[in-house]
Amino acid sequence: MTVRFLALAATSTIGTCLFALWVWKLRSRRKQGKVKFGREIREQEFVISKEVSPCNNGSFGATPRPVLRARQRFVDEAEDNPDDFFVSSKAMIYYEESLLTVADFVGAKMEHLVFVQNTTTGINSVMKSFKFNKGDSILVSSLTYPAIVNMAMDVCDNSDKELQFIKVNINFPIHGKDEVIQKYIDILEANPSIRVAIIDHITSSTALLMPIQELIQACHDRGVQVVIDGAHAPGQVQLNLEQLGADYYVGNLYKWLFAPRPSAFLWVNQKHYKTVKPLVTSHNYQQSLQNQFYQQGACDYSQYFSSEAAIQFYQDIGGYEAVSQYNREMVEWAMEMLAEAWQTECLPIPDDMRAPFMGMVALPEGCIINVPTTVSRDYTEKLKEEIHNKYKISILLGYIQDRFWCRLCSHVYNSKEDYFNVRDAFLDMKMENSKIS
């Protein structure tokens, strides 16, 4: 019995030491920038299926192994003694530590930041606690994420203040930032009822980097508050939220920053501290913004707590500079390669409005047939699923100005092979269709 116990202890001690050594070696390799982006980092650090070509990081992100392990440690700790974890100050301490790390990363004061599950929740929280006057309007754009447009419609439909929502149309080609800024100015001047504008930092299925600093200024000059939808920004662009000076900024941590799903933050300008409320009212009603958002019934906070590990991972692999250089080069190469192979074109937008890690390429003529007269999001989602099942490629499809486009994403685990698979899938679809007709 004693011998067996000692053997077991020795094995587990040796096991633990070996594991710690492996983690330490991996970490120092990452720190020295020796884990190569592409295949190597994908195999070592991600659990993405070998079968798939994952070119759609922009939708759900991908969580690396060390972050998954960190999350599991928090889950285990909570399970070990739930009362102690949630009721004592333990969870609150982890929450504040995580918030502080995220605040540092996005250039925010910790007091201005709260965790929310995702961008949709964050923007809903802002808009559903907004103090509207009778006849006010909400401004969105033709490129606003559809779920957020629905939310704006819902706010208008369910208010007794006769609210309206107004859309600014942004069409392609876009020749320069000024063109977009002018469109906003024109619509703001023509509609003095606009009280709040929801502006995407990076648009979803058009991959456009919006000139948000100038748009915030244009809105503020006309007394309009601004909610920035930064679903795609953290990790993809560098942020300094205090300097940016929006009224509200919501950003996902799970898309480009390696945090587990769902996790996002909401930044609130101090001016609006007292008006913003979470969607769920709980014990901390009427307390500080942070207390109200922290306590929304019994919650799982493990994904928020692991944002520290996610940011650590991002920094260990080289931080913004290394990640950005790899992804920009890859996405640019992939767009050119595909446009040439398909004999199509990239979405006509100026270089300084391109999302750094995402890009749009028109699909080859004839690869999608029997197109309905109205192409809905449901239709493109169904198509995407069929393509995924047949060719094992993950991409987002967009339908812009009567044409199909695919949105390419690049993150550090992508390699050129992924985009060659995308190329071949659509060429194969085109060939199959040509046999039918």
Ligand X SMILES: Cc1ncc(COP(=O)(O)O)c(C=O)c1O
- Can you say how many angstroms the Cα of residue 384 is from the centroid of all Cα atoms in its chain? 19
Is residue 252 within the footprint of ligand X (CB under 6 A)? yes
Is residue 120 within the footprint of ligand X (CB under 6 A)? yes
The two beta strands, 393-394 and 53-54, are parallel
Binding mask 19-58 for ligand X (x = CB under 6 A): ----------------------------------------
**Least distance in Å: CB of 256 to ligand X?**
11
Q: Applying CB under 6 A, which of residues 231, 257, 289, 323 lies at the interface with ligand X?
A: 231
Closer of 59 and 324 to ligand X (Cβ): 59
Going by C-alpha positions, the residue among 394, 341, 295, 18 that lies closest to residue 10 is 18
Closer of 204 and 269 to ligand X (Cβ): 204
Q: Is 331:42 a contact under the CB 8 Å cutoff?
A: no
**Least distance in Å: CB of 226 to ligand X?**
15
- Can you say how many angstroms the Cα of residue 351 is from the centroid of all Cα atoms in its chain? 21
Is residue 302 within the footprint of ligand X (CB under 6 A)? no
**Least distance in Å: CB of 201 to ligand X?**
8
**Least distance in Å: CB of 18 to ligand X?**
38
**Count of residues engaged in binding ligand X, rule: CB under 6 A:** 14
Compute, in degrees rounded to 10, the torsion defined by CA atoms 346, 407, 170, 354.
-60
**Least distance in Å: CB of 113 to ligand X?**
17
Going by C-alpha positions, the residue among 234, 166, 231 that lies closest to residue 205 is 231
Retrieve residue 402's tokens.
């009567």
Is residue 145 within the footprint of ligand X (CB under 6 A)? yes
Closer of 59 and 433 to ligand X (Cβ): 59
**Least distance in Å: CB of 190 to ligand X?**
25
Task: Map tokens 């890690």 to a residue.
Answer: 357
β-bridge mates for residue 180, sequence order: none
Is residue 118 within the footprint of ligand X (CB under 6 A)? yes
Phi, psi of 175 (to 5 degrees): -95, -20
Given the rule CB under 6 A, which of 112-120, 281-289, 300-308, 355-363 is the region that contacts ligand X? 112-120
- Angstrom distance (rounded) from CA 171 to CA 129: 32
- Angstrom distance (rounded) from CA 67 to CA 70: 5
Q: Applying CB under 6 A, which of residues 30, 42, 112, 232 lies at the interface with ligand X?
A: 232
- Beta-carbon count within 10 A of 71 CB: 23
| Opening angle at CA 130, ends 240 and 255, nearest 5 | 40
List binders of ligand X among 72-111 (CB under 6 A).
none
**Least distance in Å: CB of 300 to ligand X?**
16
Residues lying near ligand X in the complex (CB under 6 A)? 59, 118-120, 145, 147-148, 200, 204, 229, 231-232, 252, 264
